[in-house]
């Protein structure tokens, strides 16, 4: 489930700049610097983890200071650029994403709000502000901002995904805001998920988020959940994703009393990372079969 922790819209990309525009060349260079720094930091973290597992490496405090120093360089580059180019919307959006990624949500909000005011027809600014309100509240502000993003760009699946997840997570607020009962709130969220899937049919994470919503709906819609996970299985990219879906299918078949299907799905799961959950479901299956035999 995303929403409250959803990533910002991909509002900027490192593409070839206009060779005749020195400002865009500088902005392009800034994005490249940001990208290089991010890869360096991830590399340091991976190396630190490897050394830590081997019983060595630099301390966590030293690593954090090293990372902060590297990121401060990029932050200062952004600050310098937006000070000299305060009306550069994409730079504001990119700077906000950088700050958000580095746990400065209030700083990110300031940049995104500046971008929204500079370019009120830019859907990325509205979406990113929706993410902020989804995390900080009020949720109704998140609804409003996602809706505006969808209005401005009705073919961007992430906007539908974000609104669907936010409505699902903040059902009480959604009931009051949209004047719906609980079942209608669920239906609205599911309809938004389905629209997102229609626009991005090969997105496994999106499909998984959609399928997981059925666990919390009361009364349970197990057959709808089964259909969703069955469709998710078709677009799983690798064995880890496929085995994960099989665990979900086993869980739902258990609820439906289809014990043979539970066994079939559990037999597929061999990854050690899933062993604990597989064991739990296996025990639940044994308990269910034993309870049935006593009737």
- Residue 281 belongs to a domain with what CATH number? 1.25.40
Residue 216 lies in a domain: yes
Q: pLDDT at position 63, please?
A: 87
* Six token digits for residue 280: 């739990």
Residue 245 lies in a domain: yes
Residue 110 lies in a domain: no
End-to-end CA distance of the chain: 39
Residues 6 or more apart whose CB falls under 8 angstroms from that of 9 comprise 93, 123, 124, 127, 128, 149, 156, 158, 159
Q: pLDDT at position 122, please?
A: 97
Residue 266 lies in a domain: yes
The maximal CA–CA distance of the chain, rounded, in angstroms, is 81
Write down the pTM of the prediction: 0.86
Range of the domain at 239: 201-295
Q: pLDDT at position 50, please?
A: 74
Per-residue pLDDT of the chain (295 residues; tens, 9 = 90+): 444 445 556 444 444 555 578 889 999 999 999 999 999 999 988 887 776 666 665 678 888 899 999 999 999 999 999 999 999 999 999 999 999 999 999 999 999 999 999 999 999 999 999 999 999 999 999 999 999 999 999 999 999 999 999 999 999 999 999 999 999 999 999 999 999 999 999 999 999 999 999 998 988 899 999 999 999 999 999 999 999 999 999 999 999 999 999 999 999 999 999 999 999 999 999 999 998 887 6
Backbone angles phi, psi at 102, to 5 degrees: -110, 30
Total domains in the chain come to: 1
């Amino acid at each position: 489930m995303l929403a409250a922790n959803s990533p910002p819209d991909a509002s900027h990309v490192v593409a070839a700049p206009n060779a005749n525009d020195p400002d865009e060349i500088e902005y392009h260079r800034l994005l490249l610097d940001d990208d290089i720094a991010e890869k360096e930091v991830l590399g340091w973290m991976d190396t630190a983890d490897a050394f830590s597992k081997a019983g060595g490496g630099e301390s966590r405090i030293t690593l954090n200071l090293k990372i902060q120093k590297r990121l401060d360089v990029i932050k200062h580059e952004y600050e310098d650029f937006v000070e000299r180019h305060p009306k550069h919307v994409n730079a504001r959006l990119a700077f906000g994403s950088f700050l958000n990624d580095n746990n400065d949500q209030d700083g990110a909000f300031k940049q995104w709000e500046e971008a929204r005011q500079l370019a009120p027809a830019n859907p990325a600014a509205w979406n990113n502000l929706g993410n902020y309100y989804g995390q900080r509240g009020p949720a109704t502000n998140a609804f409003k901002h996602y809706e505006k993003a969808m209005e401005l760009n009705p073919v961007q699946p992430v906007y539908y995904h974000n609104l669907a997840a936010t409505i699902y997570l903040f059902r009480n607020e959604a009931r009051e805001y949209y004047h719906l009962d609980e079942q209608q709130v669920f239906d609205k969220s599911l309809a938004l998920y389905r629209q997102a899937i229609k626009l991005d049919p090969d997105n496994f994470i999106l499909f998984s988020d959609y399928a997981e919503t059925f666990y919390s709906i009361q009364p349970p819609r197990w057959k709808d959940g089964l259909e969703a996970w069955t469709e998710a299985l078709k677009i799983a990219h690798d064995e880890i994703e496929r085995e994960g879906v099989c665990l979900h299918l086993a869980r739902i078949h258990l609820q439906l009393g289809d014990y043979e299907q539970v066994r079939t799905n559990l037999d597929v799961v061999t990854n050690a990372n899933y062993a604990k959950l597989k064991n739990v479901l296996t025990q639940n299956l044994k308990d269910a079969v034993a309870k049935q035999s006593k009737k």
